[in-house]
Amino acid sequence: MDKIEKIDERGVWEKIADQLRSRSMWMLHYCTGCGAVELPPSMTSRFDMERLGMGPMATPRQADLFLVTGYLSTKTLRRVIYTYEKMADPKYVIGFGSCTINGGIYYDSYSTINRLDQYLPVDLYIAGCMPRPEAILNAFTKLMDMIRKGEADGWKRYNENYEWYKQNQLRSLGEVVVYDEFHE
């Protein structure tokens, strides 16, 4: 498929805001698999993620960057969708390892989700099983460049093509209901 040249539609304020967003990414790591093991070394003194302005955040509301670290079962996909929809725009998704690209070693299991980007808009994949911290930091700097150029527009694609994503989610999960037990 040829790459389509996109026209930069952002205003001046959006460009400034994107500069800020790229330099202060708070991440939420959804630890579904072995990818979570690679994150502590990239946070702590060996690779020190904080010098790029990144840090772990406790809840989806506060986070900008969503790391899906490993393979997804249908059960965890439901939680991943809830979590993604709780995050505030603009939000970015990184898929870790080959599990999120093509299902990894569990590709033929009845309960495994093989391609993440049919359900959520993924901005960047890190290939590998599992990627080393060097690869992770490389991906983060790449994502920062993409945000600055306005290419990391997964959250816009999700809003525009919501029907399509919703259809795929419903086909795999049966139903997606968010219970709000405090405000009903």
Query: Residues interacting with other proteins, by CB under 8 A?
Result: 17, 20-21, 23-24, 44-45, 48, 50-51, 53, 56-59, 61-62, 64, 87-90, 182-183
Please report, as a single letter, which amino acid is at residue 173.
L
| 128 closest CA partner among 151, 100, 107 | 100
| 7 closest CA partner among 151, 154, 158 | 151
Choice between 109 and 159, CB closer to other proteins: 159
Choice between 44 and 167, CB closer to other proteins: 44
Choice between 88 and 129, CB closer to other proteins: 88
State which H helix or E strand residue 137 sits in. Answer: helix 133-149
For the bound state, the minimum distance from the C-beta of residue 63 to other proteins, rounded and expressed in Å, comes to 9
For the bound state, the minimum distance from the C-beta of residue 49 to other proteins, rounded and expressed in Å, comes to 9
Choice between 79 and 171, CB closer to other proteins: 79
Q: Are the C-beta atoms of 146 and 124 separated by less than 8 Å?
A: yes
Choice between 53 and 150, CB closer to other proteins: 53
For the bound state, the minimum distance from the C-beta of residue 1 to other proteins, rounded and expressed in Å, comes to 31
Choice between 104 and 154, CB closer to other proteins: 154
Sheet of 92-96, strand order: 55-56, 26-30, 65-69, 92-96, 124-126
For the bound state, the minimum distance from the C-beta of residue 83 to other proteins, rounded and expressed in Å, comes to 12
State which H helix or E strand residue 102 sits in. Answer: helix 99-102
For the bound state, the minimum distance from the C-beta of residue 16 to other proteins, rounded and expressed in Å, comes to 8
Q: Are the C-beta atoms of 32 and 94 separated by less than 8 Å?
A: no
For the bound state, the minimum distance from the C-beta of residue 20 to other proteins, rounded and expressed in Å, comes to 4
d(CA 104, CA 97): 8
Alpha carbon 5 to its chain's center: 23
DSSP SS3 for 56: strand
